[in-house]
Chains A and B, each alone.
Chain A
């Protein structure tokens, strides 16, 4: 094939990646818009190892070349992820776009990545020589900066099986379909024996990176919702000071207010 490689197994793909400068191509919905001159693509969609959704004791494992449409149809994919995916673009893009491509594109507007941050997801990264599991924030660093070396591919996204039941997800965009986010928010709440065990809050599209502030989250951990209510004003103020916003079309102040409103709604939903 002129300017392209196909592989029928992951092993074959990793060998091609190690020996050539081919660019991994999954659904093409970002790559074809970039239309980089002089590239060769390594087509991933027909590699069975990248195409399945499975579950083990701890994780739901979503293959990097699984499409958004396939994830929506899978009973294994948690509702939080499905909610984010259902808001992505329109059917034809969801039929093509993949989880690996959403990370690989390196956009802070990537809707599944925001969920992965809130969910403490991991990625299984493979290369010809080795494989490793990395936390999502070590793979997706900031806009166009990924923690991947040459020859490495994302093979799977690992979402925790437990703890994602209480969640909030909101995408604020310009219109219903085909909207790229102005702000996206994913929150995961945990409560055990009346005490807060998790208050993960991730923001996309506002700064250059997906933002999560674990030190501020900690101020709620171990408290009852009533106790947490008493420190909520300080908690929101801390976010107000820390949240990074950008010069998007909607303006930084609007973005900041939306972020804080979404955070407030998230906590209120769980009695805080």
Chain B
């Protein structure tokens, strides 16, 4: 039986396990992509966000078999990019990280937003991050960080 073939952070891979497993569990347990957090397992919190073919998904709501033939990016891969560097700097500049649990999901949600809309308004940033819950910052710092990254990283997106 053919395996699940996909590209993970730029590298081709084959997964031999069950197609019905949660992508969240497969990426954390099999591939040790521990940037992905499990906050709720119900699609509500965004802590498990990944990009599948460039599109934001909550990996707790994705079956492993669904990524056959796709490209998956987690923060482990995204952190190698210049875009990540711009976001990291902007998050640090306004103290948009406290415990950090939500941060990988926030960063990938920001990437998904900025790649579609490089100069979002505050409302558009809030909408873009609306599926990502943060229990520490009160959100304003994160919104400012994304806005700052869009300005400072002009041309990256």
Contact = CB atoms under 8 A, between A and B. Distances in A.
Contacts of A69: 55
A138 interface: no
B16 interface: yes
Contacts, number: 103
Given A29-B43, A33-B42, A2 B63 contact: no
Max chain A C-beta neighbours (<10 A), residue from B16, B63, B127, B132: B63
Contacts of B104: none
B18 A2 contact: yes
Interface stretch (B30-38, B64-72, B80-88, B141-149): B64-72
A235 interface: no
Given A29-B61, A91-B112, A3 B42 contact: no
B3 A95 contact: no
B131 A40 contact: no
A202 B43 CA distance: 27
A109 to B, nearest CB: 14
Given A4-B20, A29-B43, A33-B43, A93 B130 contact: no
B131 A91 contact: yes
A1 B1 contact: yes
A43 B67 CA distance: 10
B116 to A, nearest CB: 10
B7 interface: no
Given A33-B42, A93-B61, A25 B66 contact: yes
Interface string B51-65: 000011110111101
Contacts of B1: 1-2
A45 B67 CA distance: 10
Contacts of B55: 69, 95
Interface residues of A, number: 30
A46 B70 CA distance: 10
B20 A40 contact: yes
Nearest to A177: B130
A91 B62 contact: no
Interface residues on B, range: 35 or more
Nearest to B50: A92
Interface in A193-240: none
Contact of A96 (B19, B46, B57, B65): B57
Nearest to A26: B66
A179 to B, nearest CB: 10
Report the 10 A-B pairs with minimum CB-CB distance, sorted nearest first. A4-B19, A90-B131, A4-B65, A177-B130, A90-B130, A3-B18, A32-B61, A92-B56, A92-B58, A3-B20
Nearest to B49: A92
Interface string A23-42: 00101110111010001110
A178 interface: yes
A32 B65 contact: no
A46 B66 CA distance: 9
Contacts of A33: 42-43, 61
B3 A1 contact: yes
10 contacts: A1-B19, A4-B19, A4-B68, A25-B66, A43-B68, A89-B131, A92-B58, A93-B43, A95-B56, A178-B131
Nearest to A6: B68
B26 interface: no
A9 interface: no
B119 interface: no
A89 B20 CA distance: 23
A194 B124 CA distance: 41
Contacts of A177: 127, 130-131
Contacts of B99: none
B66 A93 contact: no
A261 interface: no
Contact of A2 (B17, B22, B127): B17
Given A3-B20, A39-B20, A43-B68, A95 B57 contact: yes
A6 B1 CA distance: 12
